[in-house]
A and B are shown apart, each in its own frame.
Chain A
Amino acid sequence: MDGKNMILSEQDKLLLIQQKCAKKSRSCDIVTLILTLGLIVVFTLLFWILPDKNFSEQENRVLQQLPKIQSNFSGSFMERLTEGKFLDRLVNGKYTAEIADYYADQFPARDFFVGLKGISEAAQLKGGNNGVVICEDGYIITREDYPDANTVSANLAAIEEFSAVMESDGVLVYLAMAGRPVDVLESSLPALYPYESSEVLWKRFRDESNRLESTRYIELLEPLKAAHEAGEQQIYYRTDHHWTTHGAYLAYREIMSAMGMEAYEIGDFEIEVVSDSFYGTTWSNGGMKWIGADEMVYYRFGDDMEYTTSVADTGISFDSFYDRSYLEKKDKYSSFISGNNARVDITKKTGEKREKLLLIKDSFAHSAAPFLARHFDLVIIDLRYFKESCAALVREEGIDRVLILNYIGSNTSSNVHSILKFGLEQES
């Protein structure tokens, strides 16, 4: 070797060692090749042989299909290549990006691999995976360190503006917000978990809410947290960010008491277990497949079949409050009033006219709606999808009271309530 090639030494040292024992290690070398190339070839073949899936229930989304070279297969090959969109897509990199997505979405044994990553991360004692934290008592939660309290304030300002106009029309507006699992489950959090940001967020939110003049604030965090600490009932799902039906019931009690009305006692309901295999979104994110499923229950009562739930978005209506078709799917929480829709109405079949409540909400209110329906005719809107004037709706529908019930996590990430201001000027 001359001086120049000496730089190769690190690689050469290794190769010299390997050459020295080449005979001894030959069988091992061959097995290494069979094992590694075998794995690569087997998964490559499986990928192309196994049928593609359209939808992932775990992720609640449509999966990428094999990107077509061109949909219209007439004409010669050259014509197809030159005139079709294929060339455009190839040139701007879309086609190869779609292939990458296709590989990722249709990879064989996807769930197995997702679970394997969860195990690998947990084995490194990271206490979680993909931002999901393993807590005590079988709970898993999403870690949220830096909630944006300023966005909460902006939401509160919009709500108050709306409430002031409503109040002058004699309609009272109540505000209740559900805590995030991390807020409520403090007593089950792992050691050293940074809970302080939760305290800061809630202190600020509570202080500001209590200062609002026209909006009536209903505290939900403290009573639910106390109930979780008491430990008699499960208040939040272990695998999802939503509260359980019992958690929703406790929230309903607080709301009724704030409205000066009497809530039904727990004994007035009959508990029906509708599923013992509910795996929530936290579970899907975390990839910790060893965490067991949640149980889901409905709180039924004598004449609950005498109610009709009508979904304006789809035109579908059904008896009672539950769309049980969702119980067959992964997304079982959507069985409560048929999941996310812009507008849903719940009334009594008898046509009996009762006090009318406008429920402005996100998914947390879905499991609370059946309780409220026992007292009010409900107009339920979701501001993520309902993009009309709420003030006009109140007038048209002859609403008596308004309840805003949603998740504080939604209020830290987006100014979802700004639409409440829409159409207020014409009102006043």
Chain B
Amino acid sequence: MVFSSLEFLFLYLPVTLLLYFMVPKKHLKWRNLVLLVTSLIFYGWGEPVYVFLMMATIAVDYVCGYLVGIYREDNPKAAKQVLIASIIINLGILGFFKYYNFFIDNLKLIPGLGFLPTLDLELPIGISFYTFQALSYVIDVYRGDGSVQKNVAAFGAYVTLYPQLIAGPIVRYHDVDEMLRKRSETVMLFASGMRTFCAGLAKKILLANVAGQMWNGYLAVPVDERTVVGAWIGMLCYTAQIYFDFSGYSDMAIGLGKMLGFRFLENFNYPYIAKSITDFWRRWHISLSSWFREYVYIPLGGNRKGQFNTYRNLLIVWFLTGFWHGASWNYILWGLYYFVLLVFEKAFFGKILQKLPAALQHLYTMFFVILGWLLFVFEDLSAGMVWLGNMFGVGTLSFISQSNVYDLVHSLLFFAILVLASTPIAKKLFYRYYASSSALRWGACIGCGLILVITTAYLVDSSFNPFLYFRF
């Protein structure tokens, strides 16, 4: 199930909130159990079979965490063995379901290995997110950053927590350890969560989906009718779509978490105002970068073991970051692309960049981010290269078409909204005046209601499919 659907908003959400808050506050264990069961239903709704895979993950990591906790003090060697077993099992599951066919397809290219069978596997939704979350538990317990969770329901709730189950943010165990044992759901926190949720809903439905439709429209332009401006409008729409889609979903997750008394990490911090690629990655999908930093980069030695090792570690992290996004070469290339840019900035360009005017810094950053999305969106590299050519006038019919002009004029306001929403202006105003201005608070209240009604209109409309009797 996804948050931006009618059956989530008007069936799942009210029912699960009711069940959750029907349990008296003092019985937190039972509230955790309600969370676990409703989260499993949430997951099973879209993945009726893989819900059992998820339960297996919970069982394995519960046991591993428990054992690590027992051995940690007296028998560090055994603790380490259990930890390694847990890592192998978790990554094994992820590797099998996400990457098996990718590896086989590539191995098949080697003469003599053509007999290897590919499997008809569908990727379990969210597996990349919840596997990382489950792993962080055992590692945190091993390191002593978190304590063993003996209550199965609480641990299960941590792994399956429906707000961030499908698309993050990736919660690390030590961030929520406390909240699983003690948290307070208050009216203030609930209202705050509702505001965050509505903001995310608006981002996803009013901005991301609409920008995505435009991108698809441009993607559908026949190859011999493409224009330079069209190729740029298309990529800019995709750039907007991926950010508002992802950050909108994260906002909804954070909002839902707050309603239930959890506080999750911010996952995005206005990445498109970044002044360098390094800065961009501090602001984009923060929970993933922190996960890799904490559980891969630093254990490998980080930047403390000399220049060579630092670059080697960065290479590993960025290869993995790319590969994490999907089992396809273009994602790996996308990760390595950022490795090159980051090394470039680290080595010398960062210092030069700082001396340039701010406008140039933004321009440089967005230019490479947009080219990065080109690698990201086209799994078929040759199609991506054709599009890249189009952006610079290779293989295009003309620079601009009448159709582009018409689109630009009629999207001016929408594009202006996209740009504004990519900057923290609204957030800054909200922070500054929230305490002093009651008009702002009431405006936010009415805004939430309006957003719910209007996004519902967009959801209903997207299902509204007049049967076109003149089409064949």
Question: For A81, what are the chain B residues with a Cβ–Cβ distance below 8 Å?
Answer: none
Q: Mark B392-417, 1 if CB is under 8 A from A, else 0.
A: 00000000011101100111111001
Q: How far is the CA of A114 from the CA of B462 in the complex (A)?
A: 9
Please state if B465 and A30 are interface contacts (CB–CB under 8 Å): no
Question: For A241, what are the chain B residues with a Cβ–Cβ distance below 8 Å?
Answer: 470
Q: Does B106 contact A (CB under 8 A)?
A: no
Binds B, one of A57-65, A209-217, A313-321: A57-65
Please state if B263 and A8 are interface contacts (CB–CB under 8 Å): yes
- Of residues 20 through 59 on chain A, the ones whose CB sits less than 8 Å from some CB of chain B are 20-22, 24-26, 28-33, 35-37, 39-41, 43-44, 47, 58-59
Q: Does B198 contact A (CB under 8 A)?
A: yes
Q: How far is the CA of A218 from the CA of B410 in the complex (A)?
A: 37
Please state if A26 and B187 are interface contacts (CB–CB under 8 Å): yes
Please state if A103 and B470 are interface contacts (CB–CB under 8 Å): no
Please state if A117 and B438 are interface contacts (CB–CB under 8 Å): no
Q: Mark B452-472, 1 if CB is under 8 A from A, else 0.
A: 111011111111111111111
- Of residues 113 through 166 on chain A, the ones whose CB sits less than 8 Å from some CB of chain B are 113-114, 116-118, 120, 124-128, 130, 145-146
Please state if B10 and A47 are interface contacts (CB–CB under 8 Å): yes
Q: Does A284 contact B (CB under 8 A)?
A: yes
Q: How far is the CA of A221 from the CA of B290 in the complex (A)?
A: 63
Please state if B14 and A40 are interface contacts (CB–CB under 8 Å): yes
Which listed residue (A15, A28, A197) contacts B441, Cβ 8 A? A28
Per the CB 8 Å criterion, the residue count for chain A at the interface is 87
Please state if B457 and A114 are interface contacts (CB–CB under 8 Å): yes
CB-nearest residue of chain B relative to A339? B469
Task: Report if A114-B461 is in contact (Cβ < 8 Å); known contacts: A28-B438, A61-B467, A192-B405.
Answer: yes
Q: Does A297 contact B (CB under 8 A)?
A: no
Q: How far is the CA of A323 from the CA of B95 in the complex (A)?
A: 63
A-B pair number, CB within 8 angstroms: 221
Please state if B266 and A287 are interface contacts (CB–CB under 8 Å): no
Please state if A39 and B438 are interface contacts (CB–CB under 8 Å): no
Shortest B283–chain A CB gap in Å is 11
Q: Does B109 contact A (CB under 8 A)?
A: no
Q: Does A204 contact B (CB under 8 A)?
A: no
Q: Does B167 contact A (CB under 8 A)?
A: no
Task: Report if A103-B469 is in contact (Cβ < 8 Å); known contacts: A59-B464, A124-B413.
Answer: no
Q: How far is the CA of A362 from the CA of B459 in the complex (A)?
A: 33
Question: For A120, what are the chain B residues with a Cβ–Cβ distance below 8 Å?
Answer: 206, 454, 457-458
Please state if B465 and A59 are interface contacts (CB–CB under 8 Å): yes
CB-nearest residue of chain B relative to A93? B48
Task: Report if A410-B470 is in contact (Cβ < 8 Å); known contacts: A107-B460, A287-B461.
Answer: yes
Q: Does A416 contact B (CB under 8 A)?
A: yes
Q: How far is the CA of A4 from the CA of B265 in the complex (A)?
A: 11
Question: For A12, what are the chain B residues with a Cβ–Cβ distance below 8 Å?
Answer: 263
Please state if A113 and B413 are interface contacts (CB–CB under 8 Å): no
Q: Does B11 contact A (CB under 8 A)?
A: yes
Question: For A29, what are the chain B residues with a Cβ–Cβ distance below 8 Å?
Answer: 187-188, 190-192
Please state if A11 and B254 are interface contacts (CB–CB under 8 Å): yes
Q: How far is the CA of A192 from the CA of B402 in the complex (A)?
A: 7
Binds A, one of B74-82, B127-135, B356-364, B443-451: B443-451
Shortest A120–chain B CB gap in Å is 6
Please state if B46 and A117 are interface contacts (CB–CB under 8 Å): no
CB-nearest residue of chain A relative to B461? A117
Shortest A125–chain B CB gap in Å is 5
Binding site secondary structure of chain B = helix
Question: For B9, what are the chain A residues with a Cβ–Cβ distance below 8 Å?
Answer: 40
Please state if A113 and B461 are interface contacts (CB–CB under 8 Å): yes
Which listed residue (A11, A41, A104, A284) contacts B263, Cβ 8 A? A11
Q: Does A10 contact B (CB under 8 A)?
A: yes
Task: Report if A107-B6 is in contact (Cβ < 8 Å); known contacts: A32-B445, A124-B414.
Answer: yes
Q: Does A363 contact B (CB under 8 A)?
A: yes
Q: Does A384 contact B (CB under 8 A)?
A: yes
Question: For A59, what are the chain B residues with a Cβ–Cβ distance below 8 Å?
Answer: 464-467
Please state if A13 and B431 are interface contacts (CB–CB under 8 Å): yes
Question: For B401, what are the chain A residues with a Cβ–Cβ distance below 8 Å?
Answer: 194, 196
CB-nearest residue of chain B relative to A101? B463
- Of residues 379 through 394 on chain A, the ones whose CB sits less than 8 Å from some CB of chain B are 384
CB-nearest residue of chain B relative to A25? B441
Which listed residue (B174, B187, B435, B466) contacts A17, Cβ 8 A? B435
Please state if A281 and B431 are interface contacts (CB–CB under 8 Å): no
CB-nearest residue of chain A relative to B412? A125
CB-nearest residue of chain A relative to B462? A104
Question: For A107, what are the chain B residues with a Cβ–Cβ distance below 8 Å?
Answer: 6, 10, 456, 460, 463
Question: For A127, what are the chain B residues with a Cβ–Cβ distance below 8 Å?
Answer: 410
Which listed residue (B221, B290, B460, B472) contacts A114, Cβ 8 A? B460
Please state if B410 and A126 are interface contacts (CB–CB under 8 Å): yes
Please state if A7 and B417 are interface contacts (CB–CB under 8 Å): no
Task: Report if A114-B453 is in contact (Cβ < 8 Å); known contacts: A35-B445, A40-B9, A126-B411.
Answer: no
State the B residues within 8 Å of A (CB). 1, 5-7, 9-11, 13-14, 17, 45-49, 174-175, 187-192, 194-195, 198, 206, 220-222, 225, 254, 263-266, 269, 286, 290, 401-403, 405-406, 409-414, 417, 431, 434-435, 438, 441-442, 444-446, 448-449, 452-454, 456-472
Additional A-B contact list (7), CB under 8 Å, known A13-B431, A29-B187, A130-B461:
A35-B446, A90-B48, A120-B454, A124-B413, A194-B401, A196-B401, A281-B469
